[in-house]
């Protein structure tokens, strides 16, 4: 999952807890009875540094010791975080991007975190999931007391259940050994607590180890993601919070969707039927109750979740913490991963950070106003405010980085979440996203279930998108350049040639990260696909007709819309990566610009809405059933303005995707490269009996009716 970058230096340190910098446990001191003890000596090495300077020596360069293994520096430091740099030939070496860093005096430098060696520490020696969950943990004693683990202090939880003595034990070496078979598939994250015989709890007490019990290992690139916009998806009790202002439009305030509504859909099998196994929830933070003026001059509330006032509590209008726990538990029981939408760029002015540290929330300038462009020459993308009431967080302040990321990890632990969608990536300094990734990587190094960090960089510039994707930053991003091509091709009558060009350009640009990007045809920040296809948008607060719900207009019929949307979904859901379905697009929901594109999800469907949903479900099931559609390889076989045939493969399995978006039938003999071993093979249309053809003389005859699509696989 992560490429292995060669570290440019090594740090060896006596103590490490969750989320520490690029440090690791130093050599343990032998103690009586085979116990291990933490060392308080920090040891830093570098291949060719002459000197070192940092917060620990008032930035006065001092020589590195020249030893057989290379330059070494040792010291005993108080617990805390330290900025430092290595010096080579008298010059400070720039901090590499794949290590923990922090800003110091206007420069990004390395960061060293030193734990408390006078506390014991849990160390994970082994952790595996699957049909059985097994773990081995060592208890490393505090440096001075050398007190061993107190067996009576140990508690181990799997999810919400405390494990009994049949599921774990302490062996003759003093290691805690966990071994149990869960009663059903799902997530059983371990939480480990314990203290030494002196009563001192482990520094990383409450250790969180996310782990799944599944017959087959999960890979994020096998995922199909769904964005459930909580307030607009489904309401269980049918109630909506009262509006704080009489001049507030209904669609600009809470409409009553809640966590229990999403839970109900999970338990009804709504997501299973679409093959969805990743659920992206709109931000779950508590937001202010009052309404505020948006850039359009209209009033809005924080129904959307992007104005956080508390870093850890879930929005009470959605049901609060207990309801969110129920949702996640239901998702995990069905093997569905949950992504939280994390807002790191800003907070609301009523946030606790602003109360505790007013200087963190100092006013800058509003993005898009005079001398404060969003980006480009003279732009201030890293410190402009999205609105006067949304202070921008300055991540060149290490104190802010540490507090925010500590709260993010705490929120992930609290709700046992599986990954994060990072809002507004291009508006933040790299240091916060890199630190977040590296903190999670430290957890993954213990053997926990892999996380997924997917970012939003709203741009057509693939270079800018990739500026935030790396082995040490985001795993992937939403593929906005491909989105533009999808809309052009299917909503506006563009050519398949341009779509193939965009897909190929992304494949070249994204390289090894291609299978971690997320293709999509709609999201919550852009007009709905159906409204663009119909060309009938009436603005953010207009009366845009919902043609799929209300019936056809003269210039465009429901079937026109179903056909266009169907082919858009065919392409999107058969691409490499982690495709996204935006709530409501699967039933053809209408909507112009925000907030019109965030209408309430219809709960009763007519025949045409149901037909589109059936097609999306069929496509989702095809992706789930056919490994080739989840693989990394994508090869164009035939392309012109209206006919498009491409091959998908995972290296072993093969599938062909064919689409005709013209009003006339098409028949073409498509060449199949011999390398795929299909010569003479009988091919069939997935999900449709009796539709077969053979690969003869290296080609396959593809026949498609107007606006027809097929997924073709070897029989």
Walk along the chain (715 residues) in steps of 10 and give the mean pLDDT of each run. Answer: 34 36 44 79 95 97 91 96 97 97 97 97 97 96 96 96 95 94 97 97 98 95 97 88 84 96 98 98 96 93 97 97 98 98 98 97 95 91 97 98 98 98 97 98 97 97 98 98 98 98 98 98 98 96 94 82 98 98 98 97 96 98 98 97 98 97 97 95 90 92 97 96
Q: What is the pLDDT of residue 5?
A: 31
Q: Please tell us whether the domain made up of 10-114 is placed in CATH 2.60.40.10.
A: yes
For residue 595, whether the previous peptide bond is cis, meaning omega lies within 30 degrees of 0, is yes
The residue ranges of every structural domain in the chain are: 10-114, 121-213, 632-714
pTM for the model stands at 0.94
Express each pLDDT in 45-56 by its tens digit: 999 999 999 999
- ∠ CA 669-674-677, nearest 5°, is 105
Residue 131 zone, left/alpha/beta (φ > 0; ψ -120 to 50; rest): alpha
Contacts by residues 154-159 (CB-CB < 8 Å, ≥ 24 positions apart): 154/192, 154/193, 154/194, 155/192, 155/193, 155/194, 156/190, 156/191, 156/192, 156/193, 157/190, 157/191, 158/133, 158/182, 158/188, 158/189, 158/190, 159/186, 159/187, 159/188, 159/189, 159/329, 159/416
Token pair listed for 625: 């059933």
Task: Check residue 690 and report its DSSP letter.
Answer: T
Residue 22: the pLDDT is 40
Q: What is the percent of the chain where pLDDT is above 70? A: 95
* The pLDDT of residue 69: 80
Q: What is the pLDDT of residues 139-191, one digit of tens each?
A: 999 999 999 999 999 999 999 999 998 999 999 889 999 999 999 999 999 99
Q: Convert 433-464 to b/e letters by CB count within 10 Å (16 or more is b).
A: bbbbbbbbbbbeebbbbbbbbbbbbbbeebeb
Q: Residue 564: in which H helix or E strand, if any?
A: helix 558-573
In this structure, the strands spanning 476-477 and 190-193 are: unpaired
Query: What token pair was written down for 297?
Result: 């001059």
Give pLDDT, residue 324.
98
Superfamily of domain 632-714: Golgi alpha-mannosidase II (2.60.40.1180)
| Packing angle of the helix pair 607-625, 558-573 (nearest 10 deg) | 10
Alpha helices in 430-557 (DSSP H): 430-444, 462-466, 480-486, 496-510, 529-534, 547-550
Say what the pLDDT of residue 33 is: 61
Q: What is the CATH number of domain 121-213?
A: 2.60.40.10
Strand pairing of 299-300 and 292-293? antiparallel
Nearest residue to 535 (alpha-carbon basis) of 554, 512, 521: 554
Contact present, 429 and 468 (Cβ < 8 Å): no
User: How many other C-beta atoms lie within 10 A of the C-beta of residue 493?
Assistant: 12
Residues 6+ apart with CB under 8 A from 307: 285, 287, 288, 292, 347, 348, 389, 390
Q: What pLDDT, on a 0 to 100 scale, did the predictor assign at position 378?
A: 83
Fold agreement (10-114, 632-714):
yes
């Amino acid at each position: 999952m992560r490429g292995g970058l060669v570290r440019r230096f090594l740090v060896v340190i006596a103590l490490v807890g969750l989320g520490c910098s690029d440090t690791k446990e130093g050599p343990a001191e032998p103690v009586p009875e085979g116990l291990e003890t933490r060392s308080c000596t920090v040891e830093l090495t570098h291949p060719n540094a002459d000197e070192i300077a940092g917060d620990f020596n008032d930035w006065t360069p001092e020589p590195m010791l020249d030893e057989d293994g290379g330059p070494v520096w040792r010291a005993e430091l108080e617990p805390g975080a330290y900025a430092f740099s290595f010096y080579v030939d008298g010059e400070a070496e720039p901090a590499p991007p794949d290590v923990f860093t922090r800003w110091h005096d206007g420069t990004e430098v390395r960061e060293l975190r030193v734990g408390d060696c006078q506390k014991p520490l849990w160390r994970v020696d082994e952790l595996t999931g699957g049909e059985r969950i097994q773990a081995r943990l060592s208890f490393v004693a505090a440096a001075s007391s050398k007190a061993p683990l107190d067996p009576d202090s140990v508690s181990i939880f799997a999810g919400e259940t405390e494990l009994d003595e049949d599921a774990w034990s302490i062996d003759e070496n003093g290691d805690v050994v966990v071994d149990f078979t869960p009663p059903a598939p799902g997530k059983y994250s371990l939480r480990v607590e314990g203290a030494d015989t002196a009563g001192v709890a482990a520094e990383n007490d409450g250790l969180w180890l996310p782990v799944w019990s599944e017959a087959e290992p999960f890979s994020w690139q096998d995922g199909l993601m769904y964005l459930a916009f909580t307030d607009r998806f489904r309401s269980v009790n049918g109630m909506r919070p009262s509006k704080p202002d009489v001049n507030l439009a209904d669609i600009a305030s809470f409409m009553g969707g809640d966590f229990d509504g999403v839970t109900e859909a999970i338990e009804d099998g709504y997501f299973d039927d679409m093959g969805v196994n990743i659920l992206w929830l709109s931000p779950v933070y508590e937001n202010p109750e009052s309404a505020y003026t948006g850039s359009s001059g209209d009033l809005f509330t924080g129904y959307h979740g992007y104005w956080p006032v508390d870093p850890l509590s879930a929005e009470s209008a959605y049901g609060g913490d207990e309801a969110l726990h129920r949702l996640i538990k239901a998702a995990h029981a069905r093997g569905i991963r949950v992504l939280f939408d994390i807002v790191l760029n800003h907070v609301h002015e009523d946030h606790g950070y602003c109360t505790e540290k007013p200087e963190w929330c100092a006013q800058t300038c509003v993005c898009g106003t005079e001398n404060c462009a969003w980006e480009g020459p003279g732009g201030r993308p890293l410190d402009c405010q999205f609105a006067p009431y949304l202070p921008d967080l300055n991540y060149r302040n290490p104190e802010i980085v540490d507090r925010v990321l500590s709260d993010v990890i705490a929120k992930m632990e609290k709700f046992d979440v599986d990954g994060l969608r990072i809002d507004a990536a291009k508006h933040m300094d790299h240091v916060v996203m890199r630190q977040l990734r590296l903190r999670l990587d430290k957890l993954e190094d213990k053997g926990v279930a892999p996380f997924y960090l997917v970012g939003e960089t709203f741009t057509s510039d693939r270079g800018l998108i990739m500026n935030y994707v790396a082995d040490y930053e985001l795993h992937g991003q939403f593929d906005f350049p491909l989105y533009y091509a999808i809309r052009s091709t299917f909503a506006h009558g563009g050519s398949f040639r341009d779509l193939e060009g965009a897909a190929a350009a992304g494949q070249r640009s994204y390289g090894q990260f291609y299978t971690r990007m997320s293709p999509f045809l709609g999201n919550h920040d852009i007009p709905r696909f159906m409204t663009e296809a119909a060309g009938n948008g009436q603005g953010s607060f207009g009366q845009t007709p919902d043609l799929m719900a209300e019936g056809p207009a003269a210039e465009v019929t429901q079937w026109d819309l179903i056909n266009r949307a169907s082919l858009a979904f065919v392409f999107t859901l058969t691409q490499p990566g982690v495709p996204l379905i935006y709530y409501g697009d699967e039933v053809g929901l209408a909507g112009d610009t925000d907030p019109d594109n965030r209408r309430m999800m219809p709960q009763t469907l007519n025949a045409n809405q149901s037909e589109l949903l059936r097609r999306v479900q069929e496509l989702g099931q095809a992706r789930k059933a056919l490994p080739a559609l989840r693989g990394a390889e994508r090869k164009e076989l035939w392309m012109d303005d209206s006919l498009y045939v491409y091959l998908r493969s995972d290296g072993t399995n093969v599938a062909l995707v064919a689409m005709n978006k013209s009003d006339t039938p098409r028949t073409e003999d498509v060449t199949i490269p011999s390398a795929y071993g299909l010569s003479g093979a009988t091919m069939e249309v997935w999900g449709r009996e009796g539709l077969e053809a053979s690969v003869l003389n290296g080609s396959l005859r593809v026949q498609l009716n107007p606006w027809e699509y097929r997924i073709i696989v070897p029989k």
